[in-house]
Structure 1
Amino acid sequence: MFKHLLVPTDGSTMSIETRDRAITFAQETGAKLTFFHVKPEFPIALYGEGALVDPTTPQQFSELADQQAKSILDACMDKAKTAGVACDSRSQTSSSVHGAIVAAANEVGADLIFMASHGRRGLSSLLLGSETHKVLTHSTIPVLVFRQPQ
Structure 2
Amino acid sequence: MKKILFPTRGGLSSRANQDRAISLAKERGARLIFFHVTDIRFLNHMASPLLIDIEKEMDELATFMLAMAQERAEKAGVEARYVVGHGIFRQALKKVIEEQEVSLILLGAPQGRTGLTTLDFLQELAQELQTDTGVEVILIKNGEIIDHFTSESGEFEHE
* Alpha-carbon shift at residue 120 of structure 1 (Å): 8.4
Distance 1:82 1:90, change over 3 A: same
Q: Which residue, out of 74, 92, 101, partners 2:93?
A: 101
Higher RCO (CA-CA < 8 Å; seq separation 6+) = 1
Q: Distance in 1 between matches of 2:80 and 2:128?
A: 26
Could you tell me the TM-score, scaled by structure 1's length? Answer: 0.76
Counterparts of residues 17-36 of structure 1 (less than 5 Å): 17-36=16-35
Counterparts of residues 88-127 of structure 1 (less than 5 Å): 88-94=81-87, 96-118=88-110
Could you tell me the TM-score, scaled by structure 2's length? Answer: 0.72
Runs of 4+ in 1 over 2 A off after TM superposition: 12-16, 118-121, 129-136
- Counterpart amino acid of 1:106? E
Q: Which runs of 5 or more structure 2 residues have no equivalent in the other structure?
A: 145-159
Matched, 1:81 2:74: yes
Q: Secondary structure at the match of 1:143?
A: strand
Q: Which runs of 5 or more structure 1 residues have no equivalent in the other structure?
A: 46-52
- CA RMSD of superposed structures (Å): 2.8
Q: Secondary structure at the match of 1:137?
A: helix
Radius of gyration: which is bigger?
1
Q: Give yes or no for contact 1:9–1:16 (8 Å, CA) kept in 2.
A: no
Give the number of equivalent residue pairs: 135
Q: Give yes or no for contact 1:116–1:132 (8 Å, CA) kept in 2.
A: no
Work out the percentage of aligned pairs sharing the same amino acid: 24
Q: Secondary structure at the match of 2:93?
A: helix
